[in-house]
């Protein structure tokens, strides 16, 4: 018995003490622990939790109370736990009785018959469990419908038995796109940072929630994870997934101790080399990102118009620089998630380094070409002790590498100009 009578409550004081007489309960737990245990019994009676979960939680609560008390010992655990176990059994009997009364009300002919009830078989027991589960879900749905909470919206999420209230709705914006499509810039920045922080902790779960929602756009699963974590997706994988017609035959085998091996067949990769490739991949990326973040649609459309202007103004032979510039911009947003894609002023330095002839990226290519010496007639260059030749694949229009990735020069194999061999004659006539 505890000396703190003002902060304790006898277990037999519960109105349902008819299950266990008060004379049999001689041990006391603190008021907070008793209240928590009684709430678990009430939740079980409503069908919100299973009996096993309720017993486990009650055990933890009682053990915690014993550990924090100076007077309670482990000998006090058994009578207290037995008391709440009997309350759970009583609630289970009430639930079964309610189900039986409902079934008899729906089937009066069976009730009037005097046929002896057969001994329940294993299949009947399984069916009874299914009916009990349906009854719990029905009771839960009835409570949700009767709960009028103003503007609060509640959803039952797939895969996890928990309700989604208005406080957590912001982490599932694809369920209420109209509500989140038009928000102020400060609110959009706050939503973006909060969502990335939440999604990163369990990206696999949120990916399943998003992709299972009707209207979800087609997007590679690996790239969905990158979007949810605020990282820049690979547009070449996005484009390859768009044109793919085969099912991914990836196989994963666990090796134990946190190691696993993954085997997959090689797939065809579609390179993003032209304006058309970039435009298709970018539209797929925008569609997926605006599905999980509806407030980003306007800024992403503005960003695409900004990049498309460079494809119009810059010669197509240098379009690879614009594609690299796009990668650099998206990586900048990945590192600074509070930035907006339509914050064009934040990309000026990257624009100079990648697109201007004085930029570090562009100048390194031009300087490498200008510092080479050698026999032009043989088509070989000598620079820094190394020999590099014009890229014949690029002259045929078959090179899929950018100027920085290719080991050969993207110049004319005849006159070493900045055009392809097939255009050499036309360029010479234009100069005349």
Question: Considering only CA atoms, which of 152, 163, 142, 291 is closest in space to residue 218?
Answer: 291
Domain-ending residue, one of 59, 75, 101:
101
* Structure confidence at residue 375 (pLDDT): 42
Q: How far is CA 194 from its chain centroid?
A: 13
Same domain, 208 and 344: yes
Note whether residue 340 is domain-resident.
yes
Same domain, 240 and 327: yes
Same domain, 345 and 394: no
Note whether residue 116 is domain-resident.
no
Alpha-helical (H) ranges within 147-274 are: 177-181, 185-201, 203-211, 221-228, 235-243
* Structure confidence at residue 304 (pLDDT): 93
Write down the mean pLDDT value for the chain.
74
Domain-ending residue, one of 328, 356, 384:
356
Residue 184 has pLDDT above 70, yes or no: yes
Residue 377 has pLDDT above 50, yes or no: no
Same domain, 214 and 309: yes
Q: What percentage of the chain exceeds 90 in pLDDT?
A: 21
* Structure confidence at residue 352 (pLDDT): 86
Note whether residue 32 is domain-resident.
yes
Note whether residue 58 is domain-resident.
yes
Residue 119 has pLDDT above 90, yes or no: no
Query: When comparing pLDDT for 298 and 129, which is higher?
Result: 298
Q: How far is CA 144 from its chain centroid?
A: 27
Note whether residue 107 is domain-resident.
no
Same domain, 334 and 378: no
Number of domains in the chain: 3
**pTM > 0.75:** no
* Structure confidence at residue 363 (pLDDT): 62
Question: Considering only CA atoms, which of 259, 143, 257 is closest in space to residue 154?
Answer: 143
Same domain, 161 and 94: no
Same domain, 346 and 379: no
Residue 2 has pLDDT above 50, yes or no: no
3-state secondary structure at position 221: helix
Separation between Cα atoms, residue 204 and residue 289, nearest integer Å: 16
Separation between Cα atoms, residue 351 and residue 373, nearest integer Å: 30
Domain-ending residue, one of 83, 101, 119:
101
Same domain, 240 and 349: yes
Same domain, 394 and 426: yes
Q: What value does the mean pLDDT take over residues 318-335?
A: 90
Same domain, 280 and 383: no
Contacts of 51 (CB under 8 A, 6+ apart): 44, 88, 92
Q: How confident is the model at residue 124 (pLDDT cuts 50, 70, 90)?
A: low
Tokens of 115: 């046929």
Same domain, 414 and 281: no
Note whether residue 23 is domain-resident.
yes
Separation between Cα atoms, residue 86 and residue 356, nearest integer Å: 80
Note whether residue 115 is domain-resident.
no
Contacts of 198 (CB under 8 A, 6+ apart): 171, 206
**Least confident span in 53-57, 316-320, 422-426:** 422-426
Range of the domain at 301: 156-244+268-356
pLDDT digits (tens, 9 = 90+) for 219-237: 988 899 999 999 999 998 8
Q: Work out the angle between the directed axes of helices 275-292 and 235-243 (0-180°, nearest 10).
A: 90
Note whether residue 413 is domain-resident.
yes
Same domain, 63 and 189: no
Residue 205 has pLDDT above 80, yes or no: yes
Query: When comparing pLDDT for 413 and 20, which is higher?
Result: 413
């Amino acid at each position: 018995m505890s000396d703190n009578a003002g902060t304790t409550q006898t277990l037999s004081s519960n109105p349902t003490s008819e299950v266990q007489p008060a004379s049999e309960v001689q041990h006391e737990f603190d008021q907070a622990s008793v209240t928590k245990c009684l709430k678990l019994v009430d939740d079980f009676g409503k069908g919100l939790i299973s009996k096993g979960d309720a017993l486990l939680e009650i055990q933890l609560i009682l053990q915690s109370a014993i550990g924090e008390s100076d007077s309670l010992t482990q000998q006090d655990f058994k009578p207290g736990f037995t008391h709440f176990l009997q309350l759970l059994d009583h609630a289970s009997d009430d639930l079964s009785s309610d189900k039986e009364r409902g079934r008899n009300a729906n089937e009066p002919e069976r009730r009037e018959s005097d046929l002896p009830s057969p001994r329940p078989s294993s299949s009947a027991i399984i069916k009874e469990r299914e009916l009990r589960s349906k009854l719990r879900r029905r009771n839960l749905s009835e409570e949700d419908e009767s709960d009028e909470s103003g503007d609060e919206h509640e959803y039952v999420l797939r895969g996890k038995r928990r309700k989604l209230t208005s406080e957590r709705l912001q982490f599932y914006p694809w369920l209420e796109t109209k509500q989140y499509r038009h928000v102020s810039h400060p609110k959009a920045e706050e939503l973006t940072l909060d969502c990335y922080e939440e999604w990163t902790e369990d990206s696999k779960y949120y990916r399943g929630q998003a992709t299972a929602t009707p209207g979800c756009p087609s997007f590679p699963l690996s790239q969905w994870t990158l979007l949810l974590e605020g990282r820049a997706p690979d547009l070449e994988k996005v484009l390859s997934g768009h044109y793919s017609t085969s099912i991914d035959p990836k196989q994963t085998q666990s090796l134990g101790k946190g190691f696993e091996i993954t085997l997959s067949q090689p797939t065809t990769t579609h390179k993003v080399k032209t304006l058309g490739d970039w435009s298709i991949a970018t539209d797929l990326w925008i569609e997926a990102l605006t599905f999980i973040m509806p407030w980003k649609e306007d800024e992403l459309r503005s960003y695409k118009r900004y990049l498309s202007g460079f494809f119009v103004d810059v010669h197509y032979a240098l379009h690879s620089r614009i594609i690299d510039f796009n990668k650099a911009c998206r990586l900048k947003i990945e590192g600074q998630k509070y930035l907006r894609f339509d914050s064009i002023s934040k990309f000026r330095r990257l624009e100079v380094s990648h697109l201007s002839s004085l930029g570090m990226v562009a100048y390194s290519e031009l300087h490498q070409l200008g510092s080479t010496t050698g026999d032009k007639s043989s088509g070989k260059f000598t620079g820094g002790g190394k020999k590099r030749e014009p890229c014949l694949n690029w002259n045929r229009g078959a090179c899929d590498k950018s100027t920085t990735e290719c080991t050969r020069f993207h110049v004319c194999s005849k006159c070493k100009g900045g055009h392809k061999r097939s255009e050499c004659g036309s360029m010479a006539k234009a100069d005349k």
